[in-house]
Homo-oligomer: A and B are copies of this chain.
Amino acid sequence: EDDNEDKAREESVTFAGFKVKAVINENARQKYLFLHCKKNDEDAVVLLEKTPFDSSMTDQILSDNTKIRETLQNDIYHTYTAFLPANLNGVKATVICPASEKHIKKYTEQESFVIQETAELYTKVTLPYLEKHSFSTQWVYNILEKKKEADRIVFENSDPDTGFILLPDMKWDGKDLNSLYLQAIVHKHGLKSVRDLNKSHLPLLNNILEEGADVIDQEYGIPKSKLRIYIHYQPSYYHLHVHFNHINLESPGFDADRAHLLVDVIENIEMNDSYYQDKTLVYRVREQDELYKLYQDEGYF
């Protein structure tokens, strides 16, 4: 009891003063809840997410400090609502205050749509968009020219046509092997996406597949049978790159409407030189993506 009172004083800051205006996003699987609030007269975004269990604290989780209330009992199966000691059941809260319109938009759930991009639609809608914007990939050239992040390079094949640089993805902490995430970035310029690939790129793709997997086995002890190796379409930047993930990493980027397995890409091109120029490619867009708007203007939706 004393402990609890001490803690209460120590944590005397509260959410008092925040008025909830709207739930802008929520996810039952990942257990998060994003709120648009007002504090005094300012807009605020409050991001709440349940924390993972701390598996080093199991003895304290299953102790007499955890009260349980039975909700169901059937034979050997019992379900309970359990109330863990507060210090074991924190919630991560991020507050952005004052929040701009842009912040609120950023964290508001966006509607998603499926596009079936035929070869014709690629030429008519997607390609002009890519060419018009000519997204800057200077930061990629900085990596390839070793002006930036040179110390992070895990492997390089320096051939200008069939070579690449392999380095850890920013999303990976570089330690937890179950969430291993590396990217191979090709040296060759001008390959925007899988749409540009044909038989002439098979040596490059095979190098990435073979050398990439070998290096990951040597450096991290993760064999090829534990790796997911794939290309995104649409990619997040338009300079060809390949993702390497540990099979245990749960990533929305591995959805079947975005991830194209590198072995499939290679085999499809071997089967048909113009596979990725001819093929309808399916992907998901969100309502704030410019491609969504362009397809809408085109009368696709």
Residue of B nearest to A275 (CB): B271
Q: Which of A8, A26, A91 has the most CB of B within 10 A?
A: A91
From B13, B97, B255, give the contact of A67 (CB < 8 A): B13
Q: Would you call B15 and A62 a contact (CB within 8 A)?
A: yes
Q: Would you call A31 and B14 a contact (CB within 8 A)?
A: no
A15 to chain B: which residues have CB within 8 Å?
Answer: 61-64, 66, 68, 82
Stretch at the interface among A126-134, A138-146, A192-200, A225-233: A225-233
Q: Confirm or deny: A84 has a beta carbon within 8 angstroms of a beta carbon on chain B.
A: yes
Interface of chain A residues 3 through 40 with chain B (CB within 8 A): 7-8, 10-16, 18, 20, 23, 26-33, 35, 37
Chain A residues packing against B (C-beta within 8 Å): 7-8, 10-16, 18, 20, 23, 26-33, 35, 37, 46, 48, 50-53, 55, 58-59, 61-70, 76-84, 86-87, 89-99, 112-116, 224-228, 230, 247-248, 250, 252, 254-261, 263-264, 267, 271-272, 275, 278-280, 282, 284, 301
27 example contacts (A-B, Cβ-Cβ < 8 A) are as follows A11-B83, A13-B80, A14-B68, A15-B66, A15-B68, A29-B250, A30-B30, A32-B53, A35-B58, A35-B62, A80-B92, A80-B93, A81-B91, A83-B87, A83-B89, A83-B90, A112-B226, A112-B247, A113-B225, A114-B225, A114-B226, A114-B247, A228-B257, A247-B284, A254-B256, A255-B255, A271-B272
